[in-house]
Amino acid sequence: MEMLKGEECNNWFMPSLIGALKDAGKVLKPDHCYTFVTLPIFKEGTYEVSNLNPVPAKEHFAVTGSVHQQLKGIPDGAQVKISVV
């Protein structure tokens, strides 16, 4: 429970970013979560309001999980081409 206090909590849950998302009108509905437009595993992915949107949690985990599965074993810094179908 100690890990949920102080700096560790800020690193994991980013309360200031969540507040900024709410202030921008990006409020979660039930069964929704925030997902990245461009995942931060990519150079262009940022932890900014403009790069996050609320979506159904099921959709977030399906898409994000699929991307991570496809990138498994790819070395850091490698260039990849992503096609969304």
Per residue in 6-50, pLDDT tens? 788 888 889 999 999 999 999 999 999 999 999 999 989 999 999
- Taking alpha carbons only, the member of 25, 34, 37 closest to residue 55 is 34
What's the pLDDT at 5? 73
Considering only residues 5 and 50, tell me which one the structure prediction assigns the higher pLDDT: 50
What's the pLDDT at 24? 98
DSSP per-residue string spanning 31-52: TEEEEESS-TTSTT--SSGGGE
Domain ranges of the chain: 2-71
